[in-house]
Amino acid sequence: MADITRRLGWRHLRGAPTAHIRHHRGGSLVHDGPGLSFWYRALTAALSEVPVDDRELAMTFHARTSDFQDVAVQATVTYRISDPGVAAARLDFSIDPDTGVWRGAPLEQLSTLLTETAQQHALDVLARTPLSAALVDGVSAVRERVAAGLAEEPRLPATGIEVVAVRVMALRPEPEVERALRTPAREQIQQEADRATYERRAVAVERERAIAENELASQIELARREEQLVEQRGTNARREAEEHAAADAVRTQAEAARTVRLAEAEAARAVRLADAEATRSVRLAEAEAQRTVALGEAEARAARKVGEARAQAQKAWLRVHAEADVATLHALTGTRLAENLPRIESVTVSPDVLTGLLARLGSGERA
């Protein structure tokens, strides 16, 4: 659809590159070509827009084969308008000068023309072809016949239409007939599948048997090798035991010899230590005896000297006291007694003691 804008009573049209615009004014062709852009007045302009791009027309129609079976045909026709002037003269491609919308339905007319023409040729081919042949070669036969029929159709060039390509996508019978036709093929495919399954199972069983035989042979070989391994291990164990026994004997002899040498060395060391200890004990005993004798002699001499000193002191004391008078002796006795009395820190006099003392004092005065 063309893009139309309004400006103060004027209209401006801007077309697409794939749209051929024809502008008539007063019966004269003013503008003619694709992708135009121009100003015009709506009251005096007659506009038409013809699409020149390739267009796809999908069609589906039913036909009947020579054995009276209904089939559905799905096809697509690609076409384009090769002569926009002829097409605009034969079909109504005029557009509204204010909105740019087609006044009629030209593309629907083209679709109807192409569909009916293609359907006519397809029906003609399928009416002379049985269903089985139509399902096998019907697509190519219908495509070729429809393409040839559209190319030979005189009305299409007269309308400015060119057919670019014809494609037939599918040709299908009714669902019940299609299921019935599929059944034998399915049965055959199922039989082939069953046969393949049986063959595969047979091959699998044969392979499993071969695998079992290989496993059994492997187990036998492993058992034989295990027997050889057990024998070799026994031989190795005996040899190792003999070697250990010989090594133990050598080790025992060496240990015994070492023990004897250590015992002899220990005995000699004990004898030497005993001799040294005895010698030391004798020397210590002798020294102790000498020391004891010396201490005894010293203590005896000291005791004699102390006794002599005490005797002399006693003699002197007696001589002094014998020469002293009685009063001096009494004074010395009191002094010695005072020195030997215990020290009295404080004296507590109770009323009873004080009363007794006063009473004694009173009685002494009266006496």
Burial 200-226 (b: 16+ CB within 10 A, else e): eeeeeeeeeeeeeeeeeeeeeeeeeee
User: By the 8 A CB rule, do 23 and 31 touch?
Assistant: yes
Residue entry with tokens 């077309």 = 15
Cβ-Cβ contacts under 8 Å for 30 (sequence gap 6 or more): 23, 24, 38, 40
The closest alpha carbon to 171, from 38, 46, 74, belongs to 74
The closest alpha carbon to 13, from 45, 39, 51, belongs to 39
What are the C-alpha distances in Å from 189 to residues 105, 194, 223, 291, 365?
A: 52, 9, 50, 135, 171
Q: How confident is the model at residue 30 (pLDDT cuts 50, 70, 90)?
A: very high
List pLDDT tens digits, range 196-227. Answer: 888 888 888 888 888 988 989 889 999 989 88
Percent of the chain with pLDDT strictly greater than 90: 23
Q: Side-chain half-sphere of 156: how many Cα atoms within 13 Å?
A: 23
List pLDDT tens digits, range 239-275. Answer: 888 888 888 888 888 888 888 888 888 888 888 888 8
Q: Give the span between the Cα atoms of 111 and 59, in whole angstroms.
A: 9
If DSSP codes are grouped into helix, strand and coil, which group holds residue 127? coil
Q: What is the mean pLDDT of residues 138-147?
A: 89
Quote the pLDDT of residue 365.
Answer: 46
Quote the pLDDT of residue 367.
Answer: 43
Q: How confident is the model at residue 298 (pLDDT cuts 50, 70, 90)?
A: confident
pTM: 0.48
In the predicted structure, residue 144 carries a pLDDT above the cut 50: yes
Q: How confident is the model at residue 174 (pLDDT cuts 50, 70, 90)?
A: confident
List pLDDT tens digits, range 330-354. Answer: 777 767 766 666 666 666 667 776 6
User: By the 8 A CB rule, do 120 and 109 touch?
Assistant: no
